Amino acid sequence: MSFGELGVCPEIVELLRDKGISAPTEVQKGCIPVILEGNDVVACAKTGSGKTAAFLIPILQSLMTELKPLYALIITPTRELAHQIGEQAAGLNLIQGEPLCNVLVITGGRSIIHQSIDLARSPHIIVSTPGRLADLLRTQIAAQEANVTDKQEWTLSRTKVVVLDEADRLLEDNFGKDLNIIMKALPKRRQTLLFSATFSDAVRSSLEAAKSAACTENRRLPILWQPECMTTCQSVGAVTVETLSQYYILMRPEHKEAFLVHTVDQFLSENPHSLIMIFTNKCKWCHLIGLMMTTLGIKSTLLHSAMTQKNRISSLTLFRSSQIRVLIATDLASRGLDFPTVDIVINHNVPIRPKDYVHRVGRTARAGKAGLALTLCDLFEVKRLKAIQTFINKELKIFDVNEKKVAQIIAEVSIARRDAERKLDEIRFDEKREINKAKNLIKARGLKALEKTEI
């Protein structure tokens, strides 16, 4: 089946062809036609399956018919994913070499005043994280209640399409209050699209609520799309792709970093053009491993929430361009970000939540390519590993490691780790994290106080 047979217009078909995209993926086959017909859709598909294009193509095609300001709102949980979607939208936004519409990315890390001005210019597509867009709406509401004239007026009341990308995280994590504010600003009559890698209980509940609302309001029922091979979280969890090889290494906790360094060093030597992603559970671990790798002569870059937006973008650019081949990240990088040439994902810690494992390992083996996922498991993490195996309905294999070579570097790695810990103490990493948390809390309380102020 071709894109044209799905109802995609010739101009976009030609653009896709110029980008080397000739055939739609399964999720695109299932979703593009029903989205073009105006249906609400809940789509659950594996990572790397083309979910982003499945909603961007219909949105852009609708804008070709009529350019409506603030037509579509795409909400995603992280800044990095918002910028990636913005870049993809810009890439699909060229019709006969000219931009079709204006795409605006709204995230933290930039002046809220400048972003309000940008919104007042009425872009056609907004890509945003929940927190920043909710802050903009709170500021707008507070100004209205105080009878303050806002020169940068904008509204979501005429938005036609709303997309929740990585919906399972948006609906389950601490985004509830922000999402409520956003949803209240949107019209009741709109097209809503939920895209997720897992069919979680929160996604399931949203689908049932949407069905109930559709029956009450005499509207069309939302459409659930998921591939035949995909099982739900209610039964045996979520699937990982068949082209992904999944292994684990069992070791004593004090030897984990030595196993990590040996594995990374060996893989870089054997695969000179490949990229490695290392996931950790905490920002501090991310920073510590980065310092340790530097001491041991392994170039790496970091991605975690304690970094500035400028440094995050710089890290992603270095990694995507293969200038640096090792990215050490928290779960900030596990959702939706597309790195086509990542061949191995290493879990330094066993993820606390099984579904986070699915998202982490989904950074490799994308679009039908092969990939390797390796989880380092110490004796205190075995229960977590078993929970993951139950969730994905698959038993991980034991990875063959030359333990003699690992033993030879244990002392060197231990010294490098102690040196990294000393450097973290010198820059007062934990203290700075607590200060930033306090600032964010003060900011949040300040906004709430502003909302309640009567003038």
198 and 318 part of one domain: no
* Domain-located, residue 269: yes
207 and 290 part of one domain: no
Please tell me what DSSP assigns to residue 403.
H
Provide the β-strand partners of residue 95.
Answer: 98
Provide the β-strand partners of residue 41.
Answer: 193, 223
10 and 154 part of one domain: yes
Question: Which residues lie closer than 8 Å to 228 by C-beta, 6 or more apart?
Answer: none
CA distance 184 to 232: 30
Residue 280 has which token pair? 């950790």
Residue 261: Cβ within 10 Å count: 22
284 and 372 part of one domain: yes
Q: Which of 175, 192, 225 is the last residue of a domain?
A: 225
How much is the pLDDT for 230?
A: 40
134 and 277 part of one domain: no
Question: Which residues lie closer than 8 Å to 40 by C-beta, 6 or more apart?
Answer: 191, 192, 193, 210, 214, 220, 222, 223
Q: How far is CA 96 from CA 5, 92, 99, in A?
A: 21, 11, 8
* Total domain count, the chain: 2
126 and 257 part of one domain: no
- Where do we find the tokens 């229960």? 383
* Domain-located, residue 189: yes
* Domain-located, residue 258: yes
* Domain-located, residue 387: yes
CA distance 266 to 9: 48
How much is the pLDDT for 233?
A: 33
pLDDT by position in tens, the chain (length 455): 899 999 999 999 999 999 889 899 999 999 999 999 999 999 987 767 889 999 999 999 999 988 999 999 999 999 999 999 999 999 998 777 788 899 999 998 888 989 999 999 999 999 999 999 999 999 888 877 777 666 668 999 999 999 999 998 898 768 999 999 999 999 999 999 999 877 777 778 887 887 777 776 767 778 888 765 443 333 334 567 888 999 999 999 999 999 999 999 999 999 888 899 999 999 999 999 999 999 999 999 999 988 888 898 899 999 989 999 999 999 888 776 777 789 999 999 999 989 889 889 988 887 778 899 999 999 999 999 999 999 999 999 999 999 999 999 999 999 999 999 999 988 876 665 555 555 555 554 444 443 443 32
CA distance 362 to 364: 5
CA distance 413 to 260: 10
204 and 295 part of one domain: no
CA distance 407 to 255: 9
194 and 311 part of one domain: no
Domain assignment of residue 174, given as a range: 4-225
How many Cα atoms occupy the beta-carbon half-sphere of 448 within 13 Å?
A: 8
SS3 14: helix
* Domain-located, residue 40: yes
Residue 179 has which token pair? 């999402």
CATH number at residue 59: 3.40.50.300
Provide the β-strand partners of residue 44.
Answer: 196
Residue 59 has which token pair? 């949105």
Please, what is the Cα angle at 320 between 314 and 322, to 5 degrees?
A: 105
Residue 86: Cβ within 10 Å count: 21
CA distance 278 to 372: 12
252 and 170 part of one domain: no
How much is the pLDDT for 209?
A: 80
How many Cα atoms occupy the beta-carbon half-sphere of 219 within 13 Å?
A: 18
Helix (H) or strand (E) run with residue 89 in it: helix 79-91
104 and 190 part of one domain: yes
Q: Which of 196, 225, 254 is the last residue of a domain?
A: 225
* Domain-located, residue 390: yes
277 and 192 part of one domain: no
Query: Rg of the Cα trace of the chain?
Result: 23
SS3 207: helix
* Domain-located, residue 117: yes
153 and 20 part of one domain: yes
Model-level pTM? Answer: 0.72
How much is the pLDDT for 44?
A: 87
Q: Which of 170, 197, 225 is the last residue of a domain?
A: 225
* Domain-located, residue 430: yes
Question: Which residues lie closer than 8 Å to 121 by C-beta, 6 or more apart?
Answer: 102
How much is the pLDDT for 203?
A: 79
How much is the pLDDT for 413?
A: 97
CA distance 285 to 346: 14
How much is the pLDDT for 149?
A: 63
Exposed / middle / buried, residue 98 (Cβ in 10 Å: 0-12, 13-18, 19+)? exposed
Helix pair angle (429-452, 283-295), 10° resolution: 150
